[in-house]
Amino acid sequence: MNNSCVISSLLDNDFYKFTMQNAVLKLFPSAKAKYKFINRGKHLFPKNFSNILKENINEMANLKLSSEERNYLEKYCPYLDTTYLDFLNKYKFNPNEVNIHQYGQNIFMEIEGLWHRTILWEVPILAIISELYYKLTGTKTNRISDDIIKIITKNKINKYKNLKVKVGEYGTRRRFSYKVQKLVLKILIENGNKFFIGSSNVHFSHIFSTIPLGTKGHEWIMFHAAKYGFKIADKIAMKNWLYIYSGNLDIALSDTYTSYIFFKNFNKKLSNIFSGIRHDSGDPISFIKKAINHYEKFGINPKKKKIVFSDNLDPYKVEYISSFCKNKINSCFGIGTNFTNDVGLPIMNIVIKMIKTSFKKKWISVVKLSNIEKKSTGEKNMIFLAKKILHL
């Protein structure tokens, strides 16, 4: 694979980006967004890295939805309506929305434009950065062989089968490479039986004829906080989601402004309608207890609900969490880099987060608080203000 084709399909992206794009188009078509690259792992990038990254991003302007890909979406994702698919048919990435600079060994990047356009950049850009980093730093040659990756992946899925837990693959954004992700998925599908439930990557879901996994991300709720206020962001974001998807894609995201605030917004009606909740930060056992108490308070049987766990998982964490959930509440697990970047090298810790939004010609800073401090994002003064308003 040469430097200019890490991303070869418009659908090489997480499914929740498309579901959110559809909702944004319908409800907030004129809203704008700014995103920022955050190098949490303080990785040092080699000389000329930004130029090769720009080449890749420029190449993405040539991607377009094929008729075969559209047919796949119509068949496997019926809740994405014709209006949206017509939009996606005409959609083209615009590299002018992405601003990249390199100073020494540090990369700085911001993305800016209409929210419904810029929403698709995050995941493929992170995948490009990750793949190029291993390639250009020379560490790629030190990775374990494909044969060993096959054995490791097979052992993992066998362990999940023995535990009788359902797992999905969520690892596009920090994969070692396109090739490794495809290899891992092939092993998971061949060996997973009913316990491997699919991938969040729409392109690979198309290749393997499976239903893509995902609903919405934190930015959906962060935007609602900027527009409607921190206290009711979760509730309005959920109601707007139901308006677009009528009870499909019905997993609620629970930690944008801490789970404490989420459960305050998650009233009896919403708790009944949504089939479950996603845990993405903080102590999972404490969260399970809170979720069960919450459902029981409303007279809802927790055994008819589920928690989707997606916070930095590996086989040991999955065993620990699933055993605690047993006979109390249903569980399933979205596993990211432990599937797609377990190649014997240090894993990158990089993210791209929405930092500002604009819906009345004025930019407003957005924040995510999360259940743990290190996963919070946004300007310090805005984080302070959010915590003050929410009495956290």
Residue type, 314: D
For every residue of the chain, which 3-state class applies, written as one string? CCCCCCCCCCCCCEHHHHHHHHHHHHHCCCCEEEEEEECCCCCCCCCCHHHHHHHHHHHHHHCCCCHHHHHHHHHHCCCCCHHHHHHHHHCCCCHHHEEEEEECCEEEEEEEEEHHHHCCCHHHHHHHHHHHHHHHCCHHHHCCCHHHHHHHHHHHHHHHHHHCCEEEECCCCCCCCHHHHHHHHHHHHHHHHHHEEEECEHHHHHHCCCCCCCCCCHHHHHHHHHHHCCCCHHHHHHHHHHHHHCCCCCEEECCCCCHHHHHHHCCHHHHHHCCEEEECCCCHHHHHHHHHHHHHHCCCCHHHCEEEECCCCCHHHHHHHHHHHCCCCEEEEEECHHHHCCCCCCCCCCEEEEEEEECCCCEEECCECCCCHHHCECCHHHHHHHHHHCCC
pLDDT at 75 over 70: yes
Q: How confident is the model at residue 1 (pLDDT cuts 50, 70, 90)?
A: very low
pLDDT at 3 over 80: no
**Number of Cα atoms under 13 Å in the Cβ half of residue 60:** 28
Mean pLDDT, residues 231-239: 98
Q: How confident is the model at residue 4 (pLDDT cuts 50, 70, 90)?
A: low
Q: Which CATH number fits domain 145-340: 3.30.465.10, 3.20.140.10, 3.40.50.720, 3.30.530.20?
A: 3.20.140.10
Architecture of domain 15-141+349-375: Alpha-Beta Barrel (3.20)
In the chain, list all ranges with CATH 3.20.140.10: 15-141+349-375, 145-340
Predicted confidence (pLDDT) per residue in 267-310, tens digit: 999 999 999 999 999 999 999 999 999 999 999 999 999 999 99
Question: How much is the pLDDT for 392?
Answer: 87
| Average pLDDT, rounded, for the chain | 95
Q: What percent of the chain has pLDDT over 70?
A: 99
C-alpha 133/C-alpha 267 separation (Å) is 45
Predicted confidence (pLDDT) per residue in 149-176, tens digit: 999 999 999 999 999 999 999 999 999 9
Mean pLDDT, residues 340-346: 95
C-alpha 103/C-alpha 331 separation (Å) is 45
Question: How much is the pLDDT for 373?
Answer: 82
Predicted confidence (pLDDT) per residue in 359-386, tens digit: 988 999 999 998 888 778 888 898 999 9
Closest CA relative to residue 16, chosen from 174, 241, 186: 241
Residue 267: other Cβ atoms inside 10 A: 12
Question: How much is the pLDDT for 140?
Answer: 67
